[in-house]
Amino acid sequence: MANIAIDLFCGIGGLTKGLSLSGIDVAAGFDIDESCRFAYESNNDAKFINEDINDITCEEVNGFFLDYDVKIIVGCAPCQPFSRYSLRYRKDGRTDRKWKLLYSFSRIVKECLPDIVSMENVPSLVNEKVFADFIAQLNELGYYVEWNIVFCPDYGVPQKRKRLVLLASKFGEIHLIPPLYKRNEYKTVRMAIGALPQIADGEICENDTLHRASKLSVINRKRIRQSVQGGTWRDWDQELRLDCHNKKTGATYPSVYGRMKWDEPSPTITTQFYGYGNGRFGHPEQDRALSLREGAILQSFPDDYIFTDEEHPSQKRELGIHIGNAVPVELGRAIGVSIQQHLKEYER
């Protein structure tokens, strides 16, 4: 059976690329952020549609489904409103406009009735009414639904990221494939980025402009030189510590200004992974934070994934958002393989 997928909230194409690697063709990705177009279309055989999900019509989506037997809609609604940080610290967490985007996703599913649906997001979403409503509507529409909290290293992502993955099918029970890696087989930071050329803070690799690291201040250069793999700011001399480190609240953030460990998966890659002070994003050995390329590889993007060029320049902050917000490619591949296996069972 010929199948085709549409990727909602596609960003720069992490999920699209993963589905493609599993053998599922993706016709188009929809996203409100026009700056994602270059990377999305440069690396995927799919069309980028710059449109707000609230404005997308069923006719528009179904136009991509013509002449295909199996219609698939996937997507990852922006997860910031559902993050633990937003729910705990931001007063506007549940009033953020993005909070309701999952309802728009649900509307498109209800109107278009694809055969397969997949949704990926942060684990804390499962505690929210919008998620319960999403599942309830899928059930009402006759879908078989399964969801799991996934530890990404189980599927080849060299990063300790946990994600919610939902699969739904009109055909019958659908399941995420079992983990592909055992704990002692996880891909590590060393395996992922250990062979990249060495660069200093503030330097750009001459062979790869994305392999560039942020410039450190004088004091942060001193701090990282006293940092050890997996360590904390407690490894520094007293005069290098911040005022907040001497307060009780500061003691609860030991991973800030830390180095990653070579022989473990990395911490979760955020949109600010290129900043030494934003988490444990110090390189295991080199005195700098992660480069943009290293962050992309830890998100399991292929080494040659194109994010920018001379005609399509991007600022560091924009690239960090693009990379940090992406669905890890290898998780996308696992979702695609799960769908493929399910469809083979249906064919029998």
Token couple for 148: 């799991």
Q: Can you tell me the distance from the alpha carbon of 194 to that of 89, in angstroms, rounded to the nearest whole number?
A: 36
Q: Can you tell me the distance from the alpha carbon of 226 to that of 233, in angstroms, rounded to the nearest whole number?
A: 9
Active-site residue, 79 included: yes
CA angle 234, 236, 241 (to 5 degrees): 80
Quickly count helices (H) and strands (E) in the chain: 11, 9
CB 181 within 8 A of CB 153: yes
DSSP classification of residue 72: E
Residue 229 phi/psi, 5-degree rounding, is -55, 125
DSSP classification of residue 289: B
Give the DSSP H or E segment for 146: strand 144-151
Of these residues, 79, 152, 205, 244, which one is catalytic? Answer: 79
Buried/exposed code over 243-279 (b: 16+ C-beta within 10 A; e: otherwise): eebeeeeeeeeeebbbbbbbebbbbbbbbbbbbbbbb
Q: Can you tell me the distance from the alpha carbon of 20 to that of 153, in angstroms, rounded to the nearest whole number?
A: 20
Q: Which residues are catalytic?
A: 79
